[in-house]
Amino acid sequence: MKQLIYFMTAFMLLISGCKKEEPVSDGCIYGVVVDKSTGKTVSGVIVKLIVGDPTKVNNNAVEISSIVTGSEGQFEFDNLSYREYYLATFSTDFNASLYGCILSKEYPTCQIEIQLQLKNEILLN
The pTM of this model reads 0.75
Q: Is 111 left (phi over 0), alpha (psi -120 to 50) or beta?
A: beta
pLDDT tens for each residue of 100-109? 999 999 999 9
Coil, helix or strand at residue 12: helix
Q: Which CATH architecture has domain 24-116?
A: Sandwich (2.60)
pLDDT tens for each residue of 65-117? 999 999 999 999 999 999 999 999 999 999 999 999 999 999 999 999 999 99
Query: Closest Cα partner for 84 from 52, 107, 47?
Result: 52
Which percentage of the chain shows pLDDT scores above 90? 66
